[in-house]
Each structure stands twice: as C-alpha cells, then as structure tokens.
Amino acid sequence: MSLNMPAEQWVKCANCRELVYRKEFDRLLRVCPLCNYHQRLTAAERLEITVDEGSFKELDQGLTSADPLRFPDYGEKLKITIDQTGMKEAVVTGEALLAGYPIQLGIMDFHFRVGSMSAAAGEKVTRVFVRGAEQQQPVVFFIASGGARVQEGLHALMQMAKTSAAVARLQAAGVPFISILTDPSMAGVLASFASLGDVIIAEPGAVIGFTGPRVMEQTIRIKLPEGHQSAEFQLRCGQVDMVVDRVRMRATLRSLLRCLVGPRDEKEQD
C-alpha cells in the first residue's frame, strides 16, 4: 500500500496504535486486523450489521430521562449528550428480523453517558422483555454499559430488580433470551438482566465485571489475576458461554435462533 494515500484512508487502532487501511477496517466491521481489537460501535452501527436490512422498527423512542433528583448540571449534560449523539437515551429498542426470525432487540450505546442505565433506560429494557413474552418472540440484547446512572440515585438502582423481573417473566413464558456482552459490560447492568441470558456471548477483549480492578483490590486486599475482567477469562470461568468475533456474530445468532426457536420455514428443515 502506498504511503501517499490520503490521511482519511487510514485509521489508528485505539489498542495497538498502528495505522490500518480504512476499507479493511470497515470490512472487518471496525475490528483491527493487526491486534483483533473490537472498536466500540454506536447503536446505529450495531444495528446495521446485525438485523435484516429495513426490518428494524424502533419502539419507545420517546422515553427520556426526567432528572428526578434535580442533580446539579445533570439536565444540561443530558442535553449536550442528546445533541452530540442524536439519541434520547442510552439504549435503542424495537423489533426486527434477524435472518428472517422476528426478534425483540435492544442495543446499549456506550457513547450516551457511558451506556448507563437511567430510570427511562430501565423502562425501555423492561418493555423489550415484556413484549418478548407477550408476542412469543426471542430477545437479543447487546450490552455496553458502565452501570447504573449515578445522577439518578435509587431511581437508577431500582432498574436492576425491575429488569431482572422482566427477564423472569420472559423465561416463565418459555421465550429465549440471548445476551451479548460488548466492551464494557459493567456494574449494575451486568449484575442484573445482562447476566440472565439463556445464552451469554461476549465479544473478544470485552471488559466484563462489577467494578474496576483497583477498587476491588483496595476492598478485598488481594492482588487479582491479570486480565480477570476480560471476555476470555470469563469464558474460562464459565461466566459466558462463548466468545464470538464480530464478523461471525450475525451467523452465530442465526444458528442460535434456529436451535432455540426451530427452523423458520420448510426450506430450513434439511
């Protein structure tokens, strides 16, 4: 490759810091071909590479945070985040087709207040599972979150119980739930609905844990193993069922849906 190519043709990997040809980077769905670092995606980018084209119908997009505690500067920061991301909350939810299978879909976006779960986000998450139970449609949920939104205090923490109860309702209805842990999947979100999937998948290198390693070591006064919050470590310990590269994610989800739901038409019976 010529080094005289325009600068916009290159991308610097956030992990290995090497320059990567943009077309190759995009072909691999924003994964570095040199170190396999999976760059964080926006909800829109995740949606584009996951569901059947033109099949997604967004629901509950009007639900937004109401700043229940009148936390200093929170309302203004929310407005800035909304303007910057074009989103109204940290999670996008709706219904779609994935390889022809009707699903209820949720995608958390780390770019919106680190994907934190507010009262509004928790309500959107809950409604995904309620619709899944009522319509007998499997739930596919992509996690990317730093945990509960601290500016909403107990209103945010209550979403842990609320969303977990919604998953229990889905399970009681016999409807499958596939949880995909992307970087990062942390704190109250991981400790609630994100860890309750019938199948739990992680992207390579995703940071998965309840709190940061420094806080944990200061609390329990034990030196923790290197990489103990990585997706690969979680796989070895049985916390996740599989680690799947992004380029294989859609095909893996299709296979899981076929296994959990059954062939969607006579053509798939063979």
| Top-level class of domain 41-268 | alpha beta
Residues carrying CATH 3.90.226.10, the chain: 41-268
CA angle 211, 66, 59 (to 5 degrees): 85
Helix (H) or strand (E) holding 108: strand 101-108
Between CA 257 and CA 186 the distance in angstroms is 26
pLDDT in tens, the chain (270 residues): 445 556 578 989 988 998 999 998 989 998 999 999 898 999 999 999 999 999 999 999 989 888 888 898 988 889 999 998 989 999 999 999 999 999 999 999 999 998 899 999 999 999 999 999 999 999 999 999 988 898 889 998 999 999 999 999 999 999 999 999 999 999 889 999 999 999 999 999 999 988 766 766 667 677 777 777 889 998 998 999 999 999 999 999 999 999 999 887 644 543
User: Which residues make Cβ contacts (< 8 Å) with residue 265, sequence separation at least 6?
Assistant: 100
pTM: 0.88
pLDDT for res 169: 97
